[in-house]
A and B are shown apart, each in its own frame.
Chain A
């Protein structure tokens, strides 16, 4: 718990705060305003927007590819290897129950 300060300590605390503020103000003053031009910012925004769009398409493509792969595997096993399909469903369900039980016990 935080200790309460006496009057002298309080004064020292306030003096320290003042010194910190003065130091930070000096730091603030020491560096001139070096803001780049509006054109620089426009270029940066345009470049980043293109990059973001590309990243978004890449992630969407990856998501669709994964979804198609999983769906293909599921449909293939359901039609061609139904025993394996139902077995895998059973194993996954069992795993979920065991995992939940384990989590509940840890709580």
Chain B
């Protein structure tokens, strides 16, 4: 059964079809949330939350985009809401730093090298990071991203542009620091 048929069955109340749809999209969604949140536990939590919400909203899915795109859109908004709530807490900056350190440790444990870019990417505003990832890793168009984040395509273009320039600037600073410490 292809994805559209599974969705049609799920909309008719077939729970097995819905379970299969979720299983097929789990890794994709989890890894997407991992990239935007840079926190494995939060990514897993939000993946489940996205599935829960999608059961509630399944009747609104209109086949205009891929099911995975629909899930990504919901997941992105859940992540942004989660961050807004988190920012009201006192120690959120400290917690964020701890999350990045934990992720760095997890990656290095897998014999992968940590990339400076990831460090800088994690310090960008959520809206900028999400737009960059959606555009340059997943290949969505400005229009599609704008629709997902409920802003105009022009705003997305500007967020990506400024985000990349900020990464470049930070990379230059860190390269300069490395050079001066080598001397």
* Residues of A bordering B, CB below 8 Å: 2, 12-13, 16-17, 19-31, 33-36, 38, 41-42, 44-46, 48-49, 52
Contacts and interface: CB of A to CB of B under 8 A. Distances in A.
B164 A26 contact: no
A78 B71 CA distance: 51
Q: What is the interface of chain A mostly: helix, strand, loop, or mixed?
A: helix
B46 to A, nearest CB: 15
A16 B18 CA distance: 40
Given A24-B35, A27-B35, A13 B165 contact: yes
Q: What is the interface of chain B mostly: helix, strand, loop, or mixed?
A: helix
A12 B132 CA distance: 16
Contacts, number: 102
Contacts of B164: 13, 16-17, 20
A36 B15 contact: no
B19 A23 contact: no
B67 interface: no
17 contacts: A13-B165, A16-B117, A19-B171, A20-B117, A20-B167, A21-B137, A24-B35, A26-B118, A27-B103, A27-B118, A28-B31, A30-B106, A31-B40, A34-B27, A41-B26, A45-B18, A48-B55
Interface stretch (B79-87, B91-99, B108-116): B108-116
Closest 5 CB pairs of A and B: A23-B115, A41-B19, A23-B117, A42-B19, A23-B118
Contacts of A17: 136, 164
Interface of B: 15-16, 18-20, 22-23, 26-27, 30-31, 34-35, 40, 48, 51-52, 55-56, 103, 106-107, 110, 112-118, 121, 132-133, 136-137, 157-158, 161, 164-165, 167-168, 171
Given A16-B164, A35-B23, A23 B121 contact: yes
A26 B15 contact: no
B68 to A, nearest CB: 14
A28 B32 CA distance: 8
Given A17-B136, A20-B117, A24-B118, 19 more contacts: A2-B157, A2-B158, A13-B168, A16-B117, A16-B168, A16-B171, A19-B117, A20-B164, A23-B118, A26-B114, A26-B118, A30-B107, A30-B112, A35-B27, A42-B16, A42-B19, A44-B51, A46-B15, A48-B55
